[in-house]
Amino acid sequence: MSRHRQVLVTGATGTVGRQVVAQLVEAGASVRALTRVPEAAGLPADVDVVRGDLSDPRTLHTALEGIEAVLLVWPFAEAEGMPTVLEMTARHARRIVYLSSVAVRDHEQQAERLIAQSGLEWTVLRPHVFAANALDWAEQIRSGGVVREPYGAAAAPVVDERDIAAVAVRALIGDGHASAVHELTGPESLTRAEQVRIIGEVTGRPARWEEAAPEAARQQMLARGWPAEAVDGILRAQARMVTDPLPSTDTVEQVTGTPARTFRTWATDHADAFRALRAT
């Protein structure tokens, strides 16, 4: 794998971005991380952590100096502002890797089009459901071993964030990924209820699924401040996955040479998050 002099990682403290930073460092790349709050980033000492915000392109000038490749994690539900960011990126970098999703929602479609027209060498990553989404169940599992949500039969080949990052790293500092769209999954399709059962098995404390009404789940998400459009989109997607499960791909293995991690492996590595806290 060839190694670029400097890689900028946006979303560097997020689920995937943090893994990308760690794996780039391990691969010997020089890494710059963009974050709104550098002092709270908690990234390795040899990472150049800079303050910046994609919603304010003026803050990107310093971050882009000397950069050759960029991981773009776009945190907004619309592509407004992206043309300016891409124009600035193209003045410095020659390569961009965009973290999209398998849903390819409207703003992601627009983002992918803008990136393809940017003049940059580009790669798009479309991961399926993150294994890390299971952490949303941690409190329910810790407190009673029961997850009460709708669509327990929704099935998807959930993908480990470390595997998404591994593909991103190869696209950022390797060759052969120009104009590629990589659809990333885990090796097997599991229902949401099966994921909960596996968590119970690896923690040694049985956990089970209890079906809840979609409207109840909707009200809970809205109460937590989620936008109604996002909530409805999630519930529609889960309903579709009950009758039309998403297939797995072997893209992770093709790109990295290593099979994608199973959900059981992910759950084992994160088991402590689901174990009940001991009284002191």
Residue 177 lies in a domain: no
Question: What tokens does 136 get?
Answer: 């949303």
The mean pLDDT value for 31-57 works out to 96
Alpha-carbon distance values, 208 to 59, 109, 158, 235, 273 (Å): 47, 37, 18, 20, 16
Task: Report CA torsion sign: 149, 152, 156, 159.
Answer: positive
| Per-residue pLDDT reduced to its tens digit, 119-129 | 999 999 999 99
Task: Determine the pLDDT at residue 1.
Answer: 56
Residue 227 lies in a domain: yes
Residue 3 above 80 pLDDT? no
The mean pLDDT value for 137-147 works out to 96
Give the integer Cα–Cα distance in Å for 50 and 66: 13
Instruction: Kindly give, in sequence order, each residue whose CB lies less than 8 Å from that of residue 94, ignoring residues fewer than 6 positions away.
Output: 68, 69, 120, 121
Interaxial angle between packed helices 15-27 and 161-173, expressed in degrees from 0 to 180 and rounded to the nearest 10 = 50
Task: Determine the pLDDT at residue 7.
Answer: 98
Q: Mark whether 192 and 276 lie in a shared domain.
A: yes
Give the integer Cα–Cα distance in Å for 36 and 53: 6
| Per-residue pLDDT reduced to its tens digit, 79-92 | 999 999 999 999 99
The per-residue DSSP string of 147-210 comes to: EEES-TT-EE--B-HHHHHHHHHHHHHSSS-TTEEEEE--SS-EEHHHHHHHHHHHHTS--EEE
Residue 115 lies in a domain: yes
Better-predicted residue by pLDDT, 226 or 15:
15
Stated pTM of the model: 0.94
Task: Report CA torsion sign: 268, 166, 138, 243.
Answer: negative
| Per-residue pLDDT reduced to its tens digit, 171-220 | 999 999 999 999 999 999 999 999 999 999 999 999 999 999 999 999 99
Residue 278 above 60 pLDDT? no
Share of the chain above pLDDT 70, in %: 97
Q: How many CA atoms lie within 13 A of 121 on its CB side?
A: 14
Q: Mark whether 90 and 205 lie in a shared domain.
A: no
By CB neighbour count within 10 A (0-12 exposed, 13-18 middle, 19+ buried), where does 256 fall?
middle
Residue 153: which CATH number? 3.40.50.720
Residue 157 above 90 pLDDT? yes
Q: Mark whether 190 and 85 lie in a shared domain.
A: no
Q: Mark whether 198 and 105 lie in a shared domain.
A: no
Assign 279 a pLDDT band (cuts: 50, 70, 90).
Answer: very low
Domain total of the chain: 2
Parallel, antiparallel or unpaired: strands 155-156 and 48-51? unpaired
Residue 217 lies in a domain: yes
Task: Determine the pLDDT at residue 8.
Answer: 98
| Per-residue pLDDT reduced to its tens digit, 226-259 | 889 888 988 999 999 999 998 999 999 999 999 9
Domain that holds residue 12: 7-127
Which residue reads 């097997």 in tokens?
Answer: 188
Assign 164 a pLDDT band (cuts: 50, 70, 90).
Answer: very high
Of 105, 127, 149, which closes a domain?
127
Share of the chain above pLDDT 90, in %: 90
Residue 256 lies in a domain: no
Residue 143 above 60 pLDDT? yes
Give the integer Cα–Cα distance in Å for 70 and 72: 6
Residue 242 lies in a domain: yes
Residue 115 above 70 pLDDT? yes
Which residue reads 């690896």 in tokens?
Answer: 202
Q: Mark whether 23 and 144 lie in a shared domain.
A: no
Mean pLDDT estimate for the chain: 94
